[in-house]
Amino acid sequence: MKFRDQLKSVNVLIVSFIVAGILIGLLVVAQFQSSVAANSFLVDELKAQQSLLGSFDADRENWKTNITNLRQQIEDNRKKLALTVENSNLDILDKLKSRLGLNRTTGEGIQISLAEGDTGKGDSDANLIHASDLRDLVNLIRTAKVDGISINGLRLLNSSTINSLGSTIMVNKVKLSAPFQINVVGDTALIVSRLNDQQSYPDLYKRIKNKSVNFQVQKASQLVLPAYDGDYLLKYAQ
Amino acid sequence: MTINTLKRAAFMLGTGLLMGSLFSFQSKSVSQANIYYNRESRINVFKEIEILKQGNQNLSDQAAELQKELVTSSDKGKALDAIKKEIDKYEILSGQKPASGPGVVVHVSGELEALWFTDMINELFSAGAEAISVNGMRLADDRSGFDTMPNGQILFGGDILSPPFTFEAIGNSQALYGALNQAGGIISRMSLYKPEYKIELKEVTDLKLNSVVVP
């Protein structure tokens, strides 16, 4: 009797395991089947998002080309006007535009190269260049009262923004990726002395020192910074 | 104490040490990541689309404005008038003229390092600010770098700024307020790092910002 009871309980246990195994098997199969559809949806959504973002990039480039052409045509008309009018105020306008970064700037300066380290080694986050690193560097450079700054060929204004966007960085609402080339026109000795102030950018300086990121500075006798080619609107300030 | 008990104790000690080390490494890497991560606003793909869309809209508005200027630039009288208006605009943008309009005011009660000024100014311009002052000092083309001084003060274009700090920005007040006050935005990040500070943000209908050199 006792043996029969033991056999019964063992059978119940075996049956329970078999049922549980079947259920888990069914769930695993269902999961695998459903995951195909879910992945496809996500991939499609991601493709649609990337396509939309790509179209924004293309539109932006078109607008910028259009704006550059319009500015050039206005400039040409004004040059003709200056020949016929004694006091056209064009020189005042030109000086203001140069101060603001709306004209091309040339002169002696500094070229800074900032590249990400090997992200496969050590603390990969420390090897990345963050938007805040660029902001700190630009802020530091601005304390040297420079004539102009550009990052990867994009001219910075006083109101330029540098933000993080996933793995890329947006400068003037344009997506940029490392390596970064920062060109600065101004007093080279003053800029270099400011760059040597490690307290002004402690996080980045630490990573430069331990070679997590690559940082190089070199003087250039003649740098050319392009004019700012984006929008410059006043909608609220009077 | 039997050998088995000793083995078990050694095994538990080893496991404990291993887990402790792993926790420690994990916590260190997470806190390191936070230093960088916390200086950025959380931007997802929808925000990215919104930013790029707004950026393109601004470019479109700029092109429309330039198109009008191009038409007037061929007419002598209108062209001279347009040049004067453009000079006015650039003098406001460069900080050479006072500026007025709607916007926001942020008061921070205590000391801040230069990075907070850089990030605050960046957030304000990202949200569409057109003119900004800090403690009444106008941000201008030749005055925009902040430097932390050893005594906790801030050097800004030759002027020394001391706490409390007041940021004033002209622009779309609702957009500026929303951007600064969003979850994970600069106000919440500042509150996280400076919990003892009183940080106030308010919308203002008519702000007046001085020019760089007060006339």
Give the model confidence (pLDDT) of B104-117 as tens digits.
999 999 999 999 99
Q: Is the ipTM of this complex over 0.85?
A: no
CB B125 within 8 A of CB A159: yes
Residue B188 or B33, more confident: B188
What is the overall mean pLDDT for chain A? Answer: 85
Q: Which residues contact B124 (CB under 8 A, 6 or more apart)?
A: B104, B132, B167, B169, B171, B176, B179, B180
**Distance from chain centroid for Cα B141:** 17
Phi, psi dihedral angles at A57 (to 5 degrees): -60, -45
- pLDDT of res. B60: 92
Based on its alpha-carbon atoms, the radius of gyration of chain A, rounded to whole angstroms, reads 30
Distance (Å, whole) CA A230 – CA A175: 14
**Rounded distance between C-alpha atoms, residue A212 and residue A208, angstroms:** 6
Closest CA to A161 of A107, A228, A93: A228
**Cβ of residue B46 closer than 8 Å to a chain A Cβ:** no
Q: Which domain holds residue B135?
A: 100-209
- Confidence class for position B30, pLDDT limits 50, 70, 90: very low
A218 residue type, one letter: Q
Token digits of residue A173? 């609402």
Is the confidence at residue A121, as pLDDT, over 50? yes
Token look-up 């008061």 returns B107
CB contact under 8 A, B103 and A236: yes
**Closest C-alpha to A198, from A208, A210, A211:** A208
Name the token pair of A51.
Answer: 């396509």
Q: Is B205 within a domain?
A: yes
Q: What is the pTM of this model?
A: 0.78
Higher pLDDT, B166 or B51: B166
Identify the CA nearest to B105 among candidates B59, B48, B169, B187.
B169
B160 to chain A, any CB pair closer than 8 A? The answer is: no
B145 found inside a domain: yes
pLDDT of res. B33: 46
* Position A120 confidence tier, pLDDT thresholds 50, 70, 90: low
Which residues of chain A are within 8 Å of residue B120 when distances are taken between CB atoms? none
For A142, residues 6+ apart whose C-beta sits below 8 A from its C-beta are A149, B144, B145
φ/ψ of A81, rounded to 5, equals -65, -40
> Taking 90 as the threshold, does the pLDDT of residue A77 lie above it?
no
CATH number, span A105-225: 3.30.70.1880
pLDDT value of position B43: 57
Residue B129 domain-assigned? yes
Question: What is the number of H-type helices and E-type strands within chain A?
Answer: 6, 8
Q: What tokens appear for B101 in the block?
A: 């309009």
Four-residue CA torsion sign, B175, B177, B180, B182: negative
Task: Say if B1 is an interface residue toward chain A (CB within 8 Å).
Answer: no
CATH of the domain at B178: 3.30.70.1880
Q: Does B115 touch chain A (CB under 8 A)?
A: yes
Whole-number pLDDT of residue A216: 92
- B130 within some domain: yes
Domain count, chain B: 1
pLDDT tens sequence across A171-212: 988 889 889 999 999 999 999 999 988 888 888 888 888 888
Query: In the structure, what pLDDT confidence band is assigned to residue B32 with cuts at 50, 70 and 90?
Result: very low
In the numeric block, the tokens 């270099």 are attached to A192
Residues 13-42 of chain B with CB under 8 A from chain A are: 29, 32-33, 35-36, 39-41
> Residue A80's closest chain B neighbor by CA?
B74
Using DSSP's 3-state secondary structure scheme, residue A151 falls into strand
Tens of pLDDT, residue by residue over A12-54, are: 878 888 888 888 888 887 777 665 555 567 777 777 777 887 8
Choose the most confident range, by mean pLDDT, from A11-15, A66-70, A131-135, B166-170: B166-170
Interface test with B, best of A79, A159, A173, A197 (most B CBs within 10 A): A159
Q: Domain residues of chain A, as ranges? A: 1-88, 105-225
Q: Which chain B residues have a beta carbon less than 8 Å from that of A132? A: 36, 39-40, 115, 119
| Residue B28 pLDDT class (50, 70, 90 cuts) | very low
Residue B94 located in a structural domain: no
**Tens of pLDDT along B76-87?**
888 888 889 889
Among residues B146, B182, B194, the alpha carbon closest in space to that of B41 is found at: B182
pLDDT of residue A151: 96
- Alpha-carbon radius of gyration of chain B: 26
Name the nearest CA neighbour of A97 among A236, A229, A4: A229
Mean pLDDT of chain B: 84
Residue at B69 is within a domain: no
Q: Which of A136, A203, A234 sits opposite B118 (nearest CB)?
A: A136
pLDDT, tens only, A79-108: 888 778 777 788 898 899 998 999 999 999
In our burial notation (b when 16+ CB lie closer than 10 A, e otherwise), range A25-58 reads eeeeeeeeeeeeeeeeeeeeeeeeeeeebeebee
Per-residue pLDDT, averaged over A53-57, amounts to 82
> Which residues 6+ apart lie within 8 Å of B140 measured at CB?
A158, B94, B95, B96, B157, B212
- Whose structure tokens read 């001391």? B162
The per-residue pLDDT for B171 is 94
Give the best residue of A74, A195, A203 to mutate against chain B (max B CB count within 10 A): A74
For residue B75, give the chain A residue with the closest CA: A81
Sign of CA dihedral A102, B57, B49, B188: positive
pLDDT tens for each residue of B190-203: 998 889 999 999 99
For B175, how many CA atoms within 13 A lie in the half-sphere containing its CB? 17
Q: Which B positions 174-213 lie with beta carbon below 8 A of chain A?
A: none
